[in-house]
Amino acid sequence: MKIKDGFLLRQVAGQTVVLPTGGDLDLNMMITLNDTGAFLWEKLQNDCTEADLVAALLADYDVDESTARECVESFVKKLSDHDFFV
């Protein structure tokens, strides 16, 4: 899975946000991400699997595998529900 083109990840007023840049996207939409969400969003700029995301969290964060898997599943579901993937 991979994030669609047309989104920018930016720091705005101390917050990490995702902004749409045009095309078929809702230009009124802005998403605020926490540090973990921003980390996963960056990984999703390239094609990867949920297992890849879990492995990345385990490598970079002090978290157990069950928590990492739940975090990834929840994040991917939210993005999928809003059609962020290619």
Q: For residues 45 and 81, what is the distance between their CA atoms, to the nearest angstrom? A: 18
Whose structure tokens read 């962020």?
Answer: 84
Q: For residues 66 and 33, what is the distance between their CA atoms, to the nearest angstrom? A: 21
The pTM (predicted TM-score) of the whole model is 0.90
Per this entry, what is the length of the chain? Answer: 86
Task: Going residue by residue through the chain, which has 86 residues, state the pLDDT in tens, using 9 for 90 and above.
Answer: 999 998 999 999 999 999 888 766 665 778 999 999 999 999 999 999 999 999 999 999 999 999 999 999 999 999 999 889 98
Run of H or E including 61: none
Lookup: tokens for 15: 């917050």
Q: For residues 30 and 18, what is the distance between their CA atoms, to the nearest angstrom? A: 6
